[in-house]
Chains A and B, each alone.
Chain A
Amino acid sequence: MNKEYRALTRNLERADARDKATGAATYTSDLYLPGMLIAKLVRCPYAHARIRNIDKSEAMLPGVAAILTYEDAPRVKYSTAGYPKETIRGIATNVPMEYLEDKLLLDPVIRYQGEPAAIVVAESEDSAEEAARLLKIDYEALPHAITIEEAIDPASPDIHPGTRHNILDAAMSKGDVEKGFAEADLIFEDSFTTQPQQHCCMESSCSVAEPTPSGKITLWSTTQVPYHIRRDISEVLGIPMHKIRVIKPALGGGFGERQMVENELLCVFTALKVNRPVRMEMSREENLSFTTQRHPSKIRLKTGVKRDGRIVAYQIHVQTNAGAYTGHSPYVTKAMCTKNPYDIPNLKFDAEIVYTNLPDSGAYRGYGNPQISFARESHFDRIARELRMDPIAFRKRNLVKVGQPNPVALKSDWILESCELEQCLDQGAEAIGYYEPRRPAAGRKVYGKGFAAALHVTGTSACPDFSSATVVMNEDGTVELLIGSPDLGQGSDTAHSQICADTLGIRYEDVHVLSADTDVTSFDMGSYASRQSYVGGNAVKLAAEKVKAHVLNYAAAMTGQLTGNLDTDNGWVVRRENGRKVVPIKEVAYYAMYLSPAPMYLCESASYSSLNCPPAFAAHFAEVEVDRETGEVKVLNYVAAHDVGVAVNPRMVEGQVEGCLCQGIGLTLTEDMIYDREGRLQNRNFTDYKVPRALDMPQSKILIVDSYEPSGPFGAKSVGEMAVAPVPAAIVNAIYDACGLRMRDLPITKDKMLQALRQRQ
């Protein structure tokens, strides 16, 4: 019998949509517990300082429960990246762990402006703020370095011991790049820079922790990694895991910012000290200034090509501004090496990860890919034009193909099993009319089109990367899906429900998801690296198959038929050969629990560990208008063509691409974090940190090309981060097409664009 997808590939309503549309959904920031105290972080005004003395005397006002300092805090180091120790150890094997796990809960040495120096806990926000103002902390200000240039300068302070004067080196290679350059007919070099970008999750970071006399602590938090948080709480605060419960309620955005571990530890530590529920919420200014942001980068590319367009050598040199702590920096920086949808025989990658006195740069949607893809696709656009080659043909000449080694891991035996990038290029070019004549100039405005191609990971591409799922069938045939993976708003709960429903053969409406509660749900590494549909989805599928096997066994017992002749579909046990209904699943479930002589609880768990990382692919096309008098760049039309494998929920896939496009446009044109010489963020609110608004978005079209990934659940891969990477170069290449100027430094503000236009005149 040929089964049709019932839930897969359908635009089914999100599991939580109605709660969110009515204001009923509860976010961490909506939690007000009885007896709750408010914690405020007192932040150091210097970029680099040592705390000499803390005088609490005036600050201990009535209503203040405690003021905590480094003297109260355990001196156990951790990594803000949240990864398990083995993962951290593996990223830089020549660097001792103490330089990778380098963060203390509260430290007498401050390494970025705004780093917490003390925690005030009080009955109300007002009394906490008042006490914070009256707290007298005597700092010894130390020399600091804010930019990459300053930090590398031998005269600058040693911000991060254990490194080559503030530099962590990384190098990777494949083949022999010098030999490749020697064989090349032409060699091209280009340099680019990208700026920091803040996630601007609409819900500011918030944690609420509640201790109980039995020693159990519950933490609700805006986290993407509840299980990493639980483990870090255990390791840093010395609490056994069964006494820790971490819950992610409805979450107002993640994008990688919530993969950072810090605020949660501070909140739990505080709650345990005062032995009362504590709420710790960042203001918008704090969240923008003192959490984490995309790594700013300086990228130098050198490519050797044959006259026919074949790339024979490709060399990347990168410098990233890591901020004061290691965190995600080695991973993000090294990830730039392999974000390459091309078959390149000789490749060399060198990186300098530079420590500075800034908040640590971290994970942000794309994880290094937007930076490197911006550089590479701009560089390749130039190369193609200088070769007098169609830029699309140039890409096609070099694309990686199915059957070849998977480019996301330089040294592994993974083989690419699905790749529809060529389809993406063709369909995208057609949809935007890439080959049609350009719109003629209108007054002082000119028009152009550009594109970029990219891939992105589906999962971390590093082992271990595993998820697990628990499927419970109730006696009425409905199902609880208990999964650790946090839904950040991207819809993983919904996608997992769809996969569960179709695997089990029940209706989508009969699945209820409970996710991200470490006491109840199955283990999951967390929502990052675009892993949930694939790694999480495969775990869901395995668990659902186990429950399905029980259903078929009990159905066989009930009906006297052989399990081999039975299947499930749409809430029924059916005949495998022709789909004829045999017995409703709900009757089988009831039988299994109450009527069978061998009853059982229909609950199964399964783990899936990804031994592969099938990349998602995309080609984006932009049409822009450049106003030569004001420097305004308007993106008029945009086509994003994506290979996501099979789209579990097409509208949700589109939503991911559209959201990435918006963040990508911000990255390209208007967003920036502007620090002064003292390392203080100058644009710390939405007035001056310019995220795109509804009128800044182009007319857009999302194309999901036909694709199927054999190792994915029902053929699915990923999309969550993919669509940011191609955006900057698509726009930059379109700007070049429009006015002949190649912009190499993001963001391309109107100011910068006009300067470039004027300089050329």
Chain B
Amino acid sequence: MKQSKVKEYFRPESVAEALRILSGYPGAIRVIAGGTDLFTADHLDMEALLDVDKLGLAYVREEAGTLHIGAATTFAEIAKSPLIREKFTALQEAARQLADRSTRNMATIGGNVCTALPSGDAIAPLAAAGARFLTATPAGEKRYGVEDFFLGPRRTVLEKGDILTEIQIPACGAGEATAFEKMGRNSEDLAIVNVAVKVRVNADGSVAAAAVAHGAVAPTVVRSTALEQALAGKKLCEDCLDEYCQLVDQAIAPIDNIRATAAYRRECSRVLTKRALLRAYEAAGRRA
């Protein structure tokens, strides 16, 4: 049986109560949101679970040009949200390709982020968009940028007793667009590689700024800074992107494993980056 050692299950109704329980619990206690990662294995070391589903952390709203997504918002909700489609397309594209419909009804963006698999589909979009993570901790609220939050596969800056509460992302405005691409072994897979980009265009159609984030090709999500710099001021097309995207190689360090070879991940990262950039560039131009 899964979670055969779990003795207690808490469903607090406020973040303050949740923090109290987490810091006060004498044994091994884990936070659970949708459970779609946690419940895939029997965690023999786990003695208690704290469920966040009653903390009111499921919401999507925009305030003054910033999107606020509650950590317990499911991917099903994100996949349907007109606000996300309009202001953060890459995240909705990622949500629609993450696992399958039934899983998305339970899986949460907070769970995807805190599980911190390099292949987590929400992570590259959050990195490309410059997201910030809000956490509730015994020492008060803390904020992290993507670059500080992820420490390695399945490791984040969060300590036992912390809860991720909200993710904040600058909403896409005029002349800005995002896009997401994912490669799997067949139609239903975790990402062999994934890529998310954000592009802002100038009035003349040249790139004002670009952000490119890669998943599943390094211990954490990485940004293609060399490529981002090379794109500035350029007008994009498929042929020139074929060349520019060679710069992706400088940012990534893919490995061989049973899912794919490093060489394949490298090739796909380049190709998917090109495809994502083309789409975001065209969309940004339409929104100029």
Spell out A's residues near B (CB within 8 Å).
125-126, 129-130, 629-631, 669-670, 674, 682-683, 687-688, 690, 692-696, 749-751, 754-755, 758
Determine the residue in chain B with the shortest Cβ distance to A666: B186
Determine the residue in chain B with the shortest Cβ distance to A629: B271
Other A-B pairs, 19, CB within 8 Å; known A670-B185, A688-B258: A125-B1, A126-B1, A629-B271, A630-B267, A631-B264, A683-B258, A690-B185, A690-B186, A690-B189, A693-B186, A693-B188, A694-B187, A695-B188, A696-B187, A750-B183, A750-B185, A751-B264, A755-B261, A755-B264
Query: Please, how many angstroms separate the alpha-carbon atoms of A682 and B260 in the complex?
Result: 13
Determine the residue in chain A with the shortest Cβ distance to B259: A688
| Interchain CB contact under 8 A, B258 and A630 | no
Query: Please, how many angstroms separate the alpha-carbon atoms of A125 and B188 in the complex?
Result: 31
B270 CB to closest chain A CB, in angstroms?
9
B residues near A688, Cβ cutoff 8 Å: 258-259
A669 CB to closest chain B CB, in angstroms?
7
Q: What 1/0 mask marks residues of chain B from 15 to 47 whose CB sits below 8 Å from any chain A CB?
A: 000000000000000000000000000000000
B118 CB to closest chain A CB, in angstroms?
15
Given contacts A630-B268, A750-B264, contact A693 B187 (CB under 8 A): yes
Classify chain B: how many residues form its interface, as a range: 10 to 19
- B126 on the interface (CB 8 Å rule)? no
| A and B contact pairs by CB, cutoff 8 A, 29 listed | A125-B1, A129-B4, A130-B4, A629-B267, A629-B271, A630-B268, A630-B271, A670-B186, A674-B258, A682-B258, A683-B258, A688-B259, A690-B186, A690-B189, A693-B186, A693-B188, A694-B187, A695-B187, A695-B188, A696-B186, A696-B187, A749-B185, A750-B183, A750-B264, A751-B261, A751-B264, A755-B261, A755-B263, A758-B267
| Interchain CB contact under 8 A, A126 and B186 | no
Determine the residue in chain B with the shortest Cβ distance to A672: B258
Spell out B's residues near A (CB within 8 Å).
1, 4, 183, 185-190, 258-261, 263-264, 267-268, 271
Query: Please, how many angstroms separate the alpha-carbon atoms of A690 and B4 in the complex?
Result: 29
A residues near B4, Cβ cutoff 8 Å: 126, 129-130
Per CB-CB distance, the 8 closest pairs between chain A and chain B, nearest first, are A695-B187, A751-B264, A693-B188, A629-B271, A682-B258, A674-B258, A696-B187, A690-B185
Query: Please, how many angstroms separate the alpha-carbon atoms of A674 and B190 in the complex?
Result: 18
A424 CB to closest chain B CB, in angstroms?
29
A residues near B267, Cβ cutoff 8 Å: 629-630, 754, 758
A residues near B260, Cβ cutoff 8 Å: 751
Query: Please, how many angstroms separate the alpha-carbon atoms of A198 and B189 in the complex?
Result: 18
B residues near A683, Cβ cutoff 8 Å: 258
Given contacts A126-B1, A751-B261, contact A687 B190 (CB under 8 A): yes
A residues near B261, Cβ cutoff 8 Å: 751, 755
Residue from B1, B186, B190 with most neighbouring chain A CB atoms (10 Å):
B186
Query: Please, how many angstroms separate the alpha-carbon atoms of A126 and B1 in the complex?
Result: 6
| Interchain CB contact under 8 A, A754 and B264 | yes
B203 CB to closest chain A CB, in angstroms?
29
Determine the residue in chain B with the shortest Cβ distance to A665: B186
Query: Please, how many angstroms separate the alpha-carbon atoms of A565 and B190 in the complex?
Result: 70
Query: Please, how many angstroms separate the alpha-carbon atoms of A754 and B266 in the complex?
Result: 12
Query: Please, how many angstroms separate the alpha-carbon atoms of A629 and B268 in the complex?
Result: 8
A residues near B189, Cβ cutoff 8 Å: 690
